[in-house]
Structure 1
Amino acid sequence: RPVLRDRVAGIDRCTALRIPGTNGIGFVAANFLRSCATHADQLQTHEFFTLSDHALDLLTLAVTSVRPLDINLSRSRAASINCIKTFIEQNLRDTELDTRLITRHAGLSARYINNLFEDEGTSLMRYVWKRRLENCRKDMQNPAYAGHRITDIAFRWGFNDAAHFSRAFKQQFGCSPREFRRIQVHSNQTYNQERCDDIDCFIKNT
């Protein structure tokens, strides 16, 4: 739910929802997740991270398809915030992405847009910074970016000040980017060793 909160407007009001797995997007999502689970032991770490993003996208679509619209989240408001979030996702790397640019694209006032995000316990620009930080964190977790400098990753996601990025990252995740990467490298090494041990055990027992 915390992950979906940034993707699905009104997710906190979605409880006891049944997503049909026999048709539509529910069917697509269910089969994708089932296939990932079946072949998980054959995936490289970087492939797993990429597929997890796709799985989250499908789950977002599935939840959105059955999400009820209540008095606090009218169809118009839901459409507006989803449109704004889509624009933000498409432009996170743009260092010029700010309130002015977003309001101009949406054709809505800054006050109204911030009111939309208040329903989710945040503000427009806090949401933008959080999404940038989340993407930086995912890249630092992904072995495919192990050779990339932390600063390069931050700048690729729209940050233009390394010190500000480091402070924001620590505030969001509880540790500095450098500490996070060190922990992640150790975690990946442990994961790979465990996979090798499992394969060796399987070979010995066949």
Structure 2
Amino acid sequence: GSKDSVFAVRYMTPLIHCSTFDGCPLSLTDAFNRAFRALKEERPGHEFTVRENLSFICFSLHERYAHEIDLGETGLDPDSRRIQIMLEYIHQHYCENLDLTQIARSADIGNRECLRCFKRSIQNSPMQYLLKYRTTQGAALLLQDPGSSVSEIAAMCGFNSASNFSQMFKRFFKCTPREYRREHGR
């Protein structure tokens, strides 16, 4: 659903902002495996199975952290707030020619603090995150828009050339964009 849906407002947003939810071992592997299998097999109605199992996982996590959420411990630490702002900025502007300074400015911090914040929070640099995000968006577009060429999709995702896109794609997906489209397309 959307960010304004009852699921987001009542369950997901409080869980995401819960300070004790920063990391937790996932003991719900059966539900995750059922969702993954359904997604992989793509039988008729598989979307219902995926949604049912992911909803079960989300609700179980919400129940597990309900006490902390009810206590109002949803304040984000400074790094989490900054990362949230910078990731949102990247997600909104990934197709543009972004640099480190623009990403850092979105959270009102300097370049060095931006690098440290990313390293502490997601163990990756902002530019590496941006490349991976662009590439995953490109993968989605390859399947959603089969009429567009690899060059067109590369440009839509902020890559300056199809070869650069293909190189990053192979790095993250272990195949070329064309192979990915052929294997996963319908």
RMSD, matched Cα: 3.6
Superposition pairs of residues 52-201 of structure 1, within 5 angstroms: 75-94=77-96, 96-119=97-120, 120-142=122-144, 145-185=145-185, 188=186
What do the CA deviations read for 1:88-133 (whole angstroms, capped 9, x no partner)? 1110111x21112112222211121111221322111000011000
SS at match of 2:175: coil
Q: Residues 14 and 42 (structure 1 numbering): CA distance in 2 closer, same or farther, change over 3 Å?
A: closer
Distance in 2 between residues matched to 1:89 and 1:82, nearest whole Å: 10
Which structure 2 segments of 5+ residues have no match?
A: 1-15, 29-42, 69-75
Residue 172 of structure 1 aligns with an amino acid whose one-letter code is F
Which structure 1 segments of 5+ residues have no match?
A: 1-7, 19-39, 69-73, 189-206
1:173 offset after TM fit, Å? 0.7
SS at match of 1:88: helix
Residue 164 of structure 1 aligns with an amino acid whose one-letter code is N
Give % identity.
Answer: 26
Q: Residues 12 and 107 (structure 1 numbering): CA distance in 2 closer, same or farther, change over 3 Å?
A: closer
Q: Residues 42 and 78 (structure 1 numbering): CA distance in 2 closer, same or farther, change over 3 Å?
A: same
Q: How many residue pairs end up in the alignment?
A: 138
Distance in 2 between residues matched to 1:100 and 1:113, nearest whole Å: 9
Superposition pairs of residues 38-49 of structure 1, within 5 angstroms: 41=44
TM-score by length of 2: 0.61
Distance in 1 between residues matched to 2:102 and 2:169, nearest whole Å: 24
TM-score by length of 1: 0.56
Distance in 1 between residues matched to 2:179 and 2:151, nearest whole Å: 14
Q: 4+ runs of 1 displaced by more than 6 Å? A: 8-12
1:17 offset after TM fit, Å? 9.0
1:79 offset after TM fit, Å? 0.6
Distance in 1 between residues matched to 2:138 and 2:177, nearest whole Å: 9
Distance in 2 between residues matched to 1:154 and 1:124, nearest whole Å: 19
